Amino acid sequence: MHDLVAELYPICRSITGNGVRQTLGILERHIPVATFEVPSGTSVYDWTVPKEWNIRDAYVKSSRGERVIDFHECNLHVLNYSTPVRAKLTLEELRPHLFSAPEHPAWIPYRTSYYKEAWGFCLSQDQLSRLDEDEYEVCIDSELTDGHLTYGECFLPGETADEILVSCHVCHPSLCNDNLSGISVAVFLAKELLTRERRYSYRFLFIPGTIGAIAWLARNEAAAARIRHGLVLTCVGDAGGFHYKKSRRGDAEIDRAVAHVLRHQNDPYEIQEFSPYGYDERQFCSPGFDLPVGCLMRSVWGQFPQYHTSADDLSFVLPAALAASLHTCLDVVDVLEHNRTYRNTNPYCEPALGRRGLYRTTGGPGIGDENLARLWVLNLADGRHTLLDIADRAGMNFMLIHRVASELTEHGLLQDAAARGAPVS
Amino acid sequence: MHDLVAELYPICRSITGNGVRQTLGILERHIPVATFEVPSGTSVYDWTVPKEWNIRDAYVKSSRGERVIDFHECNLHVLNYSTPVRAKLTLEELRPHLFSAPEHPAWIPYRTSYYKEAWGFCLSQDQLSRLDEDEYEVCIDSELTDGHLTYGECFLPGETADEILVSCHVCHPSLCNDNLSGISVAVFLAKELLTRERRYSYRFLFIPGTIGAIAWLARNEAAAARIRHGLVLTCVGDAGGFHYKKSRRGDAEIDRAVAHVLRHQNDPYEIQEFSPYGYDERQFCSPGFDLPVGCLMRSVWGQFPQYHTSADDLSFVLPAALAASLHTCLDVVDVLEHNRTYRNTNPYCEPALGRRGLYRTTGGPGIGDENLARLWVLNLADGRHTLLDIADRAGMNFMLIHRVASELTEHGLLQDAAARGAPVS
Amino acid sequence: MHDLVAELYPICRSITGNGVRQTLGILERHIPVATFEVPSGTSVYDWTVPKEWNIRDAYVKSSRGERVIDFHECNLHVLNYSTPVRAKLTLEELRPHLFSAPEHPAWIPYRTSYYKEAWGFCLSQDQLSRLDEDEYEVCIDSELTDGHLTYGECFLPGETADEILVSCHVCHPSLCNDNLSGISVAVFLAKELLTRERRYSYRFLFIPGTIGAIAWLARNEAAAARIRHGLVLTCVGDAGGFHYKKSRRGDAEIDRAVAHVLRHQNDPYEIQEFSPYGYDERQFCSPGFDLPVGCLMRSVWGQFPQYHTSADDLSFVLPAALAASLHTCLDVVDVLEHNRTYRNTNPYCEPALGRRGLYRTTGGPGIGDENLARLWVLNLADGRHTLLDIADRAGMNFMLIHRVASELTEHGLLQDAAARGAPVS
């Protein structure tokens, strides 16, 4: 996964333009990705798809002809979505167009101006303080033209039309944790799910932040209505512990599934309440949709110093962290896929498990986890408790509960509650 | 406010009699107060309005003709509601009629005997121990006659007939915190509200404790049914932190509004569960009414040593504490007045706030409180959340939430949920 | 109660056989016990009543003719439900049939093999290590034949057909805390209730663990449907603090009643969540029944070292602990018997209690517990709160709340809510 991050790293992405197309092209080598183009000027709810932005070059040259700021060195140097400019300016005239982050003097900050036409350069504080009084040649060779907003979808059909959504933004340029880590984990999650039987259908979105999510929702209301669970993936490659931000509902199955998986991992983690600021869960959880979509992160955006700076680079994202994030996503998928409701076919008293080889035969103190898990499942399989309800009440791992439920079903002691009428009692 | 307390301090009030009339007369100089008279013998629910009590003089004279206990020195000296008496008694015969508080030897305790005919004197332990064997001339020049129970009402009509009740007792004689502080804050609260536009109508009651509340409720069942929120004000003038005792319901809007205001004041405070003992919330919260009426105090009755003694005097009540209590009441009123339910007119995805000048335009980490407040309001304005719900879930001050809600309404992004049909989703 | 434990101690009980009959015979001297016999081979839900087991003798003799393990010394020495055996075996051949508990070398462990035919001996680790290489004569003079499963019932009819169940197992041989303490407390509880007026009917079950409960339920579905509250009693004789394991429902009246009683005892105690492993609450709380049956213990099975060993003997069970357990059960019964719902006949404002001698007459700070309890009852007696609800909300002892409720009823201020229509408000 780190290789994919590295391959995507140099590309200058934005909310529109060839950077996104190039990115989707690389993803297509791993999984089937359908690319969609939405024309500039299209109305999407309260918004309008903006002009397409592309950039070839940008620099600030000293009077000695030296590129003191050079887009080709790092694409963060240009204020993302800068309008084209060619001018000669004194340092004084240039200053209002320069952005630095004095608290981290060696890092280039990342800034954007999507919806207000502006131009500018981002540079490290060190670079800024080295700039002398001079006449500078300023060039931003960009264009803002009627074009398209581009996004990608990878759809994996399952047994049912009910969908699980995995969404990540693809609009950040050379930033690894905030952007590329989510993309990479999503791609490898899709790759793994391609090989599996799926109860749910899965829809992976690779979309520009905010406007991309809004455009997708505006054009896919029917698909949105089929979303049963969803995850926004971002900042999942750094060394920090997991942070899961709950959906607006707060008690959705996805919220409980992620909390269950993290609780049983024995690593520090934190569950955060929903707030309407953050990533595209803002749109999925807007009141008209109110979809059960949470956001899985390791370190939280804005709370690690490297966030939105050039220090969010390839060294900040660790292969082991990416792998564990993928593993966590798969565990969550396992819970969602297997979280069914069963009915005990012998609801009056315990069934005779020993006779079926499902219980120890010599009485003594204590029983093993498997035996106890069987008793929990049989006790709560009344058509009203899901396996996740049972696992949480028993304080046991979902997969153990699922395994004994399958075994009890094979022995005829359990049946899928959906198969027959009313609850047991 | 302290001046009003000082003006009311010398008057000998009780649950009936001229002390209450005199008190209401003084209040009328500040706000419109209607005075009501309920004849002795009137049945009010399970109770009967008692005879009216008035007192001119009371003393205990030594054989040397010296007034060793003198009502004119402090009206607490007489057991409130004492029957008339004129007698010569030895100290031994007098003792059963003397009440002191040995734990605070310099203070005169306050005692009453409203519903059992009795007479007596209250005096400091120091005074009591100075009494020698002697023949004492005892005089209580009081009368208990068929008369009236007196109470006052200040009614401020608002846009709607729904009422906010503010109630305080006016039956305590020279006691400042427990009685006069509540009266004074209520008067100045009414005075301020007189000058404002009011969604709610306001009813201020100046009533004798228990029997006054019972008489008012018995005669005003229709008005009681219009009470949407209510506060009993008492002990709001001392230096202690706020204590709010919740209504019987425990989750009424008044309970949440006061808790919100106190939480955002950054001073120590305490929320207490309802209990059926205390002030007139006992009657307002009786099961037949079950009104949403809580009780706002600073120090809690019975928990400060000066309570019901002569030490609850003018020096115990501080102008700054009275002012902060008034301020707190006004903040609570602000919450109640503005706590409406809105509906986002663009419930699908966020509206484009930047276009309307309601969002920062250059991307960077973090957004200000105002921006975040707007997102919270838009996200939860689904016709099911009040602004107080939103403020509490966002952990933000109600007035900020209210301000951005008004602004969003002006921009057409929000509308009053009462104006149109069903919730958003 | 300790004498009864001592009398029952020597008997070799099992899930069937004469040990149970003998035990029930002794109980009959204290309370009326009806004995029921269920034939071997009877189907009870998913189970079949097993063959009846009886044993006369069992030993292992050394070649010198010495009984190195002797059933008559301690009936724990034989693996309970051992099939008959007569053989000569080397120590090597004997070993797989020997069970010891190395962590407590002086104690004989208790083992059973009810549902898998096997034979064996239990012995202390000390005994085991003294066994030399030898040819041993092994004899288990038991029989497993078509017979019956035996259980006892003591039914005490009450004013209503609604039942309170008290259940304890009678299948353990010489084990005092785990078995005999529960039996003894149940017997003396029944004995005491025999002398009282009872709103509820009471059913005491003396049944073999698991199969006995299953057999009883299978044959008594109608009676089971009448169970309103139930307790499984076990391990109630040792010196440990109380542990109450809640019913599957978790918020049943029995759960709240036991928690209330323990909370007001001022001794350490613990409330445990339901789990589907333990005693016969496993069957009563199976999903088809889901009866409100909890389990009262002192030390918890499996968590005290003496559990299921010869150290759970007469010295491990204390007369004072048995007495306090009985007392606790009676307190719980008192709560259940008296936990009614009342309606205040004067719901508008407080009634005039002073006039009726139910309130102090001279005003002063504070009121006593009785006065406060009266106010709580009157305030919450709205036809929706039980006395237990009131006691818990007031933080007061149920019996005080019950006493003042009775007194208020006598004064006509309260009436049973069942007597008339809808709630007060």
Distance CA A107, CA B1 (A): 59
Provide the b/e sequence for A369-400 (b: ≥16 CB within 10 Å): eebbbbbbbbbbbbbebbbbebbbbbebbbbb
pLDDT at A367: 78
Q: What is the pLDDT of residues C137-161, one digit of tens each?
A: 999 999 999 999 999 999 999 999 9
Answer for the pair A142, A53: CB distance below 8 angstroms, yes or no: yes
Residue in B352, B380, B394 closest to A46 by CB? B352
Distance CA A125, CA A290 (A): 42
Residue type (1 letter), C275: S
Answer for the pair A117, A97: CB distance below 8 angstroms, yes or no: no
Burial of A179 (0-12, 13-18, 19+ CB in 10 A): buried
Q: In what order do the strands lie in the sheet with B85-90?
A: B67-70, B52-61, B135-145, B85-90
- How far is it between the farthest Cα atoms of chain A? 92
Average pLDDT, integer, range A390-404: 97
Write down the ipTM of this complex: 0.93
CA distances from B274 to B187, B241, B278, C346 (A): 26, 18, 9, 20
Contacts of A362 in chain C (CB under 8 A): 111-113, 116, 118
User: Closest chain A residue to C249 measured between Cα atoms?
Assistant: A380
Which has the closest alpha carbon to B196: B240, B158, B246, B152?
B158
pLDDT at B115: 85
What would you report as the CA-atom Rg of chain C, rounded to the nearest whole angstrom? 26
Which has the closest alpha carbon to A69: A6, A138, A145?
A138
User: Closest chain B residue to C371 measured between Cα atoms?
Assistant: B277
Token pair, residue C174, equals 């010489």
Q: What is the pLDDT of residues C65-90, one digit of tens each?
A: 999 999 999 999 999 999 999 999 99
Q: What is the pLDDT of residues C236-282, one digit of tens each?
A: 999 999 999 999 999 999 999 999 999 999 899 999 999 999 999 99
Token pair, residue B390, equals 């939103």
Three-class DSSP category at C56: strand
Residue in A48, A114, A283 closest to B349 by CB? A283
Place of tokens 């009627």: A146
Distance CA A358, CA A340 (A): 22
pLDDT at position A361 over 70: no
Interchain pair B111, C362: CB under 8 A: yes
Residue C383 C-alpha, separation from nearest chain B C-alpha, in angstroms: 10
Q: Given CA atoms C411, C412, C417, C423 in this order, what sign does their dihedral have?
A: negative
Residue type (1 letter), A79: L
Using an 8 Å CB-CB cutoff, list residues of chain B that contact chain A: 344, 346-352, 354-355, 361-367, 372, 375-376, 378-382, 394, 424-425
Residue in C350, C352, C363 closest to B286 by CB? C350
Residue C118 C-alpha, separation from nearest chain A C-alpha, in angstroms: 9
Distance CA A152, CA A129 (A): 42
User: Closest chain A residue to B368 measured between Cα atoms?
Assistant: A277
Test the A interface: residue of C42, C78, C280, C286 with most A CBs within 10 Å:
C286
Answer for the pair B259, B250: CB distance below 8 angstroms, yes or no: no
pLDDT at C368: 85
Residue A160 — very low, low, confident or very high, per pLDDT cuts 50/70/90?
very high
Average pLDDT, integer, range C183-208: 98
Test the A interface: residue of C115, C119, C121, C171 with most A CBs within 10 Å:
C115
Distance CA B375, CA C299 (A): 55
Query: What are the pLDDT tens digits along chain B (425 aa)?
Result: 999 999 999 999 999 999 999 999 999 999 999 999 999 999 999 999 999 999 999 999 999 999 999 999 999 999 999 999 999 999 999 999 999 999 999 999 999 999 889 999 999 999 999 999 999 999 999 999 999 999 999 999 999 999 999 999 999 999 999 989 999 999 999 999 999 999 999 999 999 999 999 999 999 999 999 999 999 999 999 999 999 999 999 999 999 999 999 999 989 999 999 999 999 999 999 999 999 999 999 999 989 999 999 999 999 999 999 999 999 999 999 999 999 999 999 999 999 998 898 886 555 556 789 999 999 999 999 999 999 999 999 999 999 999 999 999 999 999 999 865 545 55
Between chain A and chain B, how many beta carbons pairs sit less than 8 Å apart? 93
Q: What is the pLDDT of residues C4-59, one digit of tens each?
A: 999 999 999 999 999 999 999 999 999 999 999 999 999 999 999 999 999 999 99
Q: How many CB atoms lie within 10 A of CB A66?
A: 10
Three-class DSSP category at C36: strand
pLDDT at B47: 97
Test the B interface: residue of C343, C344, C349, C353 with most B CBs within 10 Å:
C349
Between chain A and chain C, how many beta carbons pairs sit less than 8 Å apart? 92
Higher pLDDT, B60 or C419: B60
How confident is the prediction for chain A on average, in pLDDT?
95
CA distances from B206 to A195, B115, B169, C198, C415 (A): 78, 21, 6, 52, 34
pLDDT at position A252 over 90: yes
Average pLDDT, integer, range A313-324: 98
Token pair, residue B382, equals 């689904």
pLDDT at B367: 78
CA distances from A371 to A93, A398, C111 (A): 77, 15, 18
DSSP state of A21: H
Distance CA C136, CA C396 (A): 66
Residue C21 C-alpha, separation from nearest chain B C-alpha, in angstroms: 56
Torsion angles phi and psi, residue A318, rounded to 5? -105, 135
pTM: 0.93
Residue in A44, A115, A285 closest to B354 by CB? A115
Distance CA A116, CA C237 (A): 80
Burial of A41 (0-12, 13-18, 19+ CB in 10 A): exposed
Q: What is the pLDDT of residues C88-126, one digit of tens each?
A: 999 999 999 999 999 999 999 999 999 889 999 999 999
Three-class DSSP category at B368: coil
In chain A, % of residues over pLDDT 70: 97
Interchain pair B352, A118: CB under 8 A: no
Question: Left (φ > 0), alpha (ψ -120 to 50) or beta: where does C266 sit?
Answer: left
Average pLDDT, integer, range A132-140: 96
Residue type (1 letter), B148: H
Interchain pair A350, C287: CB under 8 A: no
- Count CA atoms within 13 Å of residue A167 on its CB side: 32
Place of tokens 């009081």: B142
Three-class DSSP category at B132: coil
Using an 8 Å CB-CB cutoff, list residues of chain A that contact chain B: 44-48, 80, 109, 111-116, 118, 210, 213-214, 217-218, 248, 275-277, 282-283, 285-290, 301-302, 307-308
Q: Using CB atoms, list chains with 3+ pairs below 8 Å to chain B.
A: A, C
pLDDT at position A421 over 60: no
Interchain pair C218, A381: CB under 8 A: no
Interchain pair B218, C349: CB under 8 A: yes
Chain centroid to Cα B326, Å, comes to 11
DSSP state of C118: -
Q: What is the pLDDT of residues A85-127, one digit of tens each?
A: 999 999 999 999 999 999 999 999 999 999 889 999 999 999 9
Residue in C351, C362, C425 closest to B290 by CB? C425
pLDDT at position A419 over 90: no
Interchain pair C351, B46: CB under 8 A: yes
Which residues, at least 6 apart from C421, have a Cβ–Cβ distance to it below 8 Å?
none
pLDDT at C39: 98
In chain A, % of residues over pLDDT 90: 93
What would you report as the CA-atom Rg of chain B, rounded to the nearest whole angstrom? 26
Token pair, residue A217, equals 């929702």
pLDDT at position C425 over 90: no
Distance CA C405, CA C385 (A): 13
Residue in A355, A379, A394 closest to C286 by CB? A379
Average pLDDT, integer, range A271-283: 97
